[in-house]
Amino acid sequence: MSFRLKTILGIASIEAILLAILLSLTLNYLETTNYKGLEQRASSTAALFATSVKNAVLSYDLATIHAFTSELKSNPDIVYVAVVGENNQPLSIQGQAPAQLNAALFQLDNHQTNEKIYHIKQDIKASDIVFGSVWIGFDLSQLHQQIADAQHWSTLIVIGEMSLVALFSYVLGAYLTRRLSELKNAADQIASGHRDIDLSTKGEDELASVSKAFQNMVENLKLSESQMHIYQQQLLSANESLEYKVSARTEDLLRSNRELRDTNATLKSTQAKLIETEKMASIGTMAAGVAHEINNPIAAVKSNLQSCFEYLETYHKWIEQAEQIIEQKGAAPAELQQWKQAQFVDYLHDDFNDSLKDAETCVNRVAKIVSALQHYSQHNEDSPQHFTAVDLFIALDKALNQISLPINVQVTINPSIAKQPAIWGLADELKTLFEQVIKNAVQACSRVQSSTQNHSNVTIYAQTDDNRVHVMIQDTGPGIPENESNRVYDPFYTTLPVGEGMGLGLTYAYDIVRLHQGDIDIQSTAQGTCVTVSLPIAKAHLDVANID
């Protein structure tokens, strides 16, 4: 939308709003005053006519009443005249009177419904007694026509005035936008690259000031472009030498960034290991104290249970000998037999013996846990000075010989194991390490096979980098829940049912790996778990040690 059109529409809108308000007020005032004048005339006419026919109505002079009604009806703007007596009895009717002269005629607003007849009633009273009434109907068609003519001429005046406003607005817009068009054309030339522009700056109005400012801007733009061209040449010459410096500095920054990233990763890994080491050391200290406190009462309970076994056997033999003596002497064997049956004496020995055996089993289990705690709490006193070269294949083979495999679990050692270099460490500890990790994998696979027919697999393979051997033990078990993966090294954490495991296997494994300055990593999904054990490579000049 152009500025000229906006000017025309703006002025026309203002003019239209003002004219609409003025016209509405004027027509409303004209209509209101005309209707009020008609009402005043009708009221006075009805009052005078009622006074004129009052005596004739009182004397019931129909001729006089008829004469008065005929004379009043002769007015051209009166439609009908009616005089009624008591009980609404017509005395004289002239013109087109309604069939029913009642109050319903006054319920219509002639001003709003455009009725053609204005009805008015005037009572005929004497001493405040109503003897009749006069009805007069005034013709409203002429009044309506006058109002319609006024609206018509007002509309024509509005249309004419709006046309003149549009014409004057167009002329004013053309005058105002002429210089704006010049400025627009000049701006388009500048955008296309032209700088030789000459604008007319005559005049003292705002548009002339804008033209002068625009011309000054063009001159300053020429000067700025000239200076910018000089600066560009200087920048190009400086950029040629700067590119090499930036490239060298960028390479230094990238190298420093890589070093910082590697250092940060190393620090995070070291921090995690230190936290885990402190946690395991605290748990070991607590385990030693708990084992010491439990071991003494367990030993006492176990000793007492053994004494109970011996006492029970002695009582059993004594009862048998007493029964034999009683039977030989014939002293009331029937009453004794009844008492034994009532007290279930024959079953007491077996039940008592079974209860003691269950108690002994539980005590042995607690003693086994205490022994495991003591073993866990005792730090290995061996140092790297006692380390030897250990053959990886032999260590794994010895570990597998200590594990009882279910019939539905198959363990496979990849041929790559035999090609790996020897590991630097303690042979017995490494055997225990692999035994615990493989046992966990076998137990996980055996739980899956409870509802399937195919074999589960535990696969062992390895690979070597610069100074470490990475042993991967992969199973097809159910995996470790994600929310419990950070607890696998905690003592007594296990997913096995109560009585089937103590939850110390991976705890031992973690301590052994830490002793050998290695790493252990567990990656688990719903399809299985892979445990990666990283251990240092043995020195080349040492002989491979055998595992006893």
| Model confidence at 230: pLDDT above 60 | yes
| Model confidence at 517: pLDDT above 50 | yes
384-545 has the same fold as 3-165: no
Between residues 145 and 112, the one the model is more confident about: 145
Q: What is the pLDDT of residue 295?
A: 67
> What is the rounded end-to-end Cα distance, in angstroms, of the chain?
99
Q: What is the pLDDT of residue 277?
A: 63
- Kindly state the percentage of the chain with pLDDT values over 90: 3
User: At 373, is the pLDDT very low, low, confident or very high (cuts 50, 70, 90)?
Assistant: low
184-203 pLDDT, tens digit per residue, is 777 777 777 766 666 666 66
State mean pLDDT over 23-52. 81
Q: What is the pLDDT of residue 462?
A: 92
**CA 546 – CA 548 distance, rounded (Å):** 6
| Model confidence at 543: pLDDT above 50 | no
Q: What is the CATH number of domain 3-165?
A: 3.30.450.20
Among 36-50, 60-74, 498-512, name the one with the lowest average pLDDT. 498-512
**Mutual angle of helices 427-448 and 505-515, in 10-degree steps:** 150
User: At 459, is the pLDDT very low, low, confident or very high (cuts 50, 70, 90)?
Assistant: very high
> Domain extents for the chain?
3-165, 244-377, 384-545
User: At 333, is the pLDDT very low, low, confident or very high (cuts 50, 70, 90)?
Assistant: low
Between residues 285 and 267, the one the model is more confident about: 267
In DSSP terms, 129 is beta-bridged to 126
- Kindly state the percentage of the chain with pLDDT values over 70: 71
State mean pLDDT over 83-102. 80
Of 107, 306, 234, the C-alpha closest to 298 is 306
Q: What is the pLDDT of residue 473?
A: 92
Between residues 384 and 415, the one the model is more confident about: 415
Among 228-232, 435-439, 453-457, name the one with the lowest average pLDDT. 453-457
**Mutual angle of helices 206-329 and 345-377, in 10-degree steps:** 140
Radius of gyration of the chain (CA): 61
Among 140-154, 158-172, 258-272, 378-392, name the one with the lowest average pLDDT. 378-392
402's CB contacts (< 8 A; 6+ apart) are 431, 435
Of 375, 369, 378, 377, the C-alpha closest to 298 is 369
Max mean pLDDT range (241-250, 327-336, 426-435, 479-488):
426-435
Among 137-141, 203-207, 260-264, 517-521, name the one with the lowest average pLDDT. 203-207
Sign of CA dihedral 393, 396, 400, 406: negative
Q: What is the pLDDT of residue 501?
A: 54
Q: What is the CATH number of domain 384-545?
A: 3.30.565.10
Which residue bears the tokens 């024509």? Answer: 156
User: At 114, is the pLDDT very low, low, confident or very high (cuts 50, 70, 90)?
Assistant: low
State mean pLDDT over 1-18. 73
Mean pLDDT taken over the chain: 76
| Model confidence at 183: pLDDT above 50 | yes
460-505 pLDDT, tens digit per residue, is 999 988 789 999 999 988 888 777 766 676 666 565 655 555 566 6
202-218 pLDDT, tens digit per residue, is 666 666 677 777 767 77
**CA 349 – CA 312 distance, rounded (Å):** 8
pTM greater than 0.75: no
